[in-house]
Chains A and B, each alone.
Chain A
Amino acid sequence: MSTIAPKFRFSYFLKSLTDNAFWAVILLTLTGIPFVMTLLFYLELPVIDDKLMTPYLALTTIADPARQIPLIKSLLHTDFFRIAAFPGFGFAALLAAGTIFVERKMLAKLQLRVGPFYCGKIEGLLQLMSDGIKLLSKEIIIPAKADKPIFWAAPVLFVATAAAFVSLIPAARGGWVVADADVGLLAVFAIIGFFPVITVLSAWSANSKFPFIGGIRALHQMVSFEIPLILSVLGVVILTGTLNLTQIVESQYHYWWILFMPIGAIVFFIAMLAELERIPFDLPEAESEIVAGWLTEFSGMMYGLVQLGSYLKLYAFAALFTILFLGGWSGPNVWPPFPEEIIQKGIVMGPITAHFPGLPLLDQQMLNDVLWFTLKVAGVIFFILLPRGVFPRIRIDLLLHIGWYKLIGMAFVNIFIALALVYAGVLGPGGIL
């Protein structure tokens, strides 16, 4: 039988609501409106159909969808859209949410449980949302002698570093990437190198024993597996001769690199599992030994942010595997072409006919690329999730032994396979491909 908390008074509840509304209005008026005004002063507003698109004019287009389409189209090609929505943060967060749902349901099925069930009526679809709201309303408790600025900054920095990793991932041809860097692969390695630093800093700042042991374990594990991770990709770079991720995908138009370098792909996958701290390499978060490892002292939304960051990182690693070994977005053309009458005449719905000039916002090629890219990434994510239901955790000396002796050796074997393919004339200039 559930009871209301004894100190609960409805009048207190109303008072807290109105208090919050009061402060929101005050803060928005004093800071929000000047901020927007300053932003509008410095922002270069777009010119669409020979008209300067002021916010007022943009709001008037709500009345007329036909005038809205050029506005949306111009929005789709801005940097802000790329960063916030499609190949950037929104897309990655959406896939991360899907990953969490699939992981929980699949793990439950593997262990003959039901898993999330009630929230959202259909198979617990909204469980993640309710968990988020729950975490948001929990009190954040910081240990007494913690180093507070670092402890507060660590979850935010973790998410931001994962997002910076996501920004280098191209999702479709034609420049659908946030940052198209010349040496994108090296930039990826540079960003991966930040994760152990953030982990150790957060573990050190908590001033507690369990997080510190977890953080040191994470440091050893990530540092050891970074070298096989870097060396296993060298074969791909030797065969393509470029470090740009978009060009690496374009080089796999005929054959995926996993066909020529399966050893490199396996080494990369295992090193990826260790970098992501997933079973069988989840020693930093070993819940049966050290409570929750370096996450022990994180409570409430801080824990939620670290989880968000780790799943963003999972998406980014799966996408990197897809780009390097599985041909990225290349695949047969399966997306159906847009019907001619929609492009020419508009949409006819019963008595209503609406003519929108330039209706398909995205071309068929791009949608096809995104479809294949998402399917491949989902497949790789499935194989990352699968060991969690199958394998036990391994000991730290065995982990370091695997990383330093076996994986590095196999990565060098992969490099020599790539060299042999180039010098035997199979691939590269003058080769059969």
Chain B
Amino acid sequence: MVGEYAASYSHVLLMFGFAIMAVGPALLISRMISPRKLSNPVKFLPMEAGQVPKGEGRTHFMMQYYAYVLMFVVFDVMAIFLYAWGSSLLQLPKTATLPIIAFLGIMFAAMAFALYQSKRRNIW
């Protein structure tokens, strides 16, 4: 039973593997036929629009936007939970919708609070 479920996804993995087998040789062939000259150390510097790069490459990004990434962790799970309810809605009694509406209300209040906090940039 579990094996059958897993087998229906094996084709996704096969396709994944096929794509690797199909495009991996392109990199190898490119490496074989393209010129390689190691003479110039400037060539291997990171691209910085003509400047000589300074400092480390992994720079910083504005902290205020990390609020959205944190919110994603919560609300993505919520969205997937809703699928468990939505796909079986036609078999459920109508009264089963009310708890879900309450759940949505709680999540909406939480989201509104989080969005309000994410706008206050001075706290980040």
A interface residues, Cβ below 8 angstroms from B: 20, 79, 82-84, 88-89, 135-145, 152, 155-157, 159-164, 166-168, 178-182, 185-187, 189, 191, 204, 206-210, 212-213, 216, 219-220, 223-224, 226-227, 230-231, 234, 237-238, 241-243, 291, 296-297, 300-302, 304-305, 308, 396-397, 400, 404-405, 408, 412, 415, 419, 422-423, 428-429
Q: Which B residue sits closest to A82, measured CB to CB?
A: B11
Q: Is the CB of B57 within 8 A of A145?
A: yes
- Assess whether A231 is in contact with B79, with CB atoms less than 8 Å apart: yes
Q: A186-B80, A428-B90 are in contact. Are A301 and B36 (CB under 8 A)?
A: no
Residue of B nearest to A144 (CB): B44
B27 with A20: CB separation less than 8 A? no
User: Are A231 and B82 touching (Cβ within 8 A)?
Assistant: yes
The answer to whether B44 touches A142 (Cβ under 8 A) is yes
Would you call A79 and B29 a contact (CB within 8 A)?
no
Main secondary structure of the interface of B (DSSP, over half): helix
Kindly supply a per-residue 1/0 record for chain B positions 103-116, scoring 1 wherever the CB is within 8 Å of any chain A CB and 0 otherwise: 01000100100010
User: A181 to B47, Cβ gap below 8 A?
Assistant: no
Report 6 cross-chain contacts, Cβ distance below 8 Å, ordered by A residue. Answer: A83-B15, A206-B57, A207-B57, A220-B65, A241-B89, A302-B27
B30 A223 Cβ-Cβ under 8 A: no
**Chain A residues, Cβ within 8 Å of B102:** none
What's the Cα separation between A105 and B13 when bound, in Å?
Answer: 36
Contact A213 B45 (CB under 8 A): no
Cβ contacts under 8 Å, A296 to chain B: 47
Q: Quick check: B88 and A291 within 8 Å, CB to CB?
A: no
Residues of A contacting B56 in the complex (Cβ-Cβ under 8 angstroms): 207
**Whole-angstrom CA separation of A135 from B86 in the bound complex:** 47
Q: Contact between A182 and B20 (Cβ–Cβ < 8 Å)? A: no
Q: How far is the CA of A91 from the CA of B93 in the complex (A)?
A: 44
Nearest opposing residue in chain A for B97, CB measure: A419
> Are B18's CB and A291's CB within 8 A?
no
Instruction: Please give, as numbers and ranges, the residues of chain A lying within 8 Å of B87 by CB-CB distance.
Output: 237, 241-243
Q: How far is the CB of B115 from chain A (nearest CB, A)?
A: 6
Within 8 A of A (CB), among B1-47: 5, 8-20, 22-24, 26-27, 29-37, 41, 43-47
B46 and A206 contacting across the interface, CB-CB below 8 Å? yes
Chain A residue with the shortest CB-CB distance to B91: A241
Give B58-91 as 1s and 0s: 1 = Cβ < 8 Å from A's Cβ atoms. 1101000100110110011001101100111111
Contact A234–B15 (Cβ < 8 Å): no
Residues of B close to A135: CB separation below 8 A: 30
CB distance from A232 to the nearest CB of B (A): 10
Q: Which residue of B lies closest to A237 (CB)?
A: B86
Interchain CB contact under 8 A, A241 and B15 = no
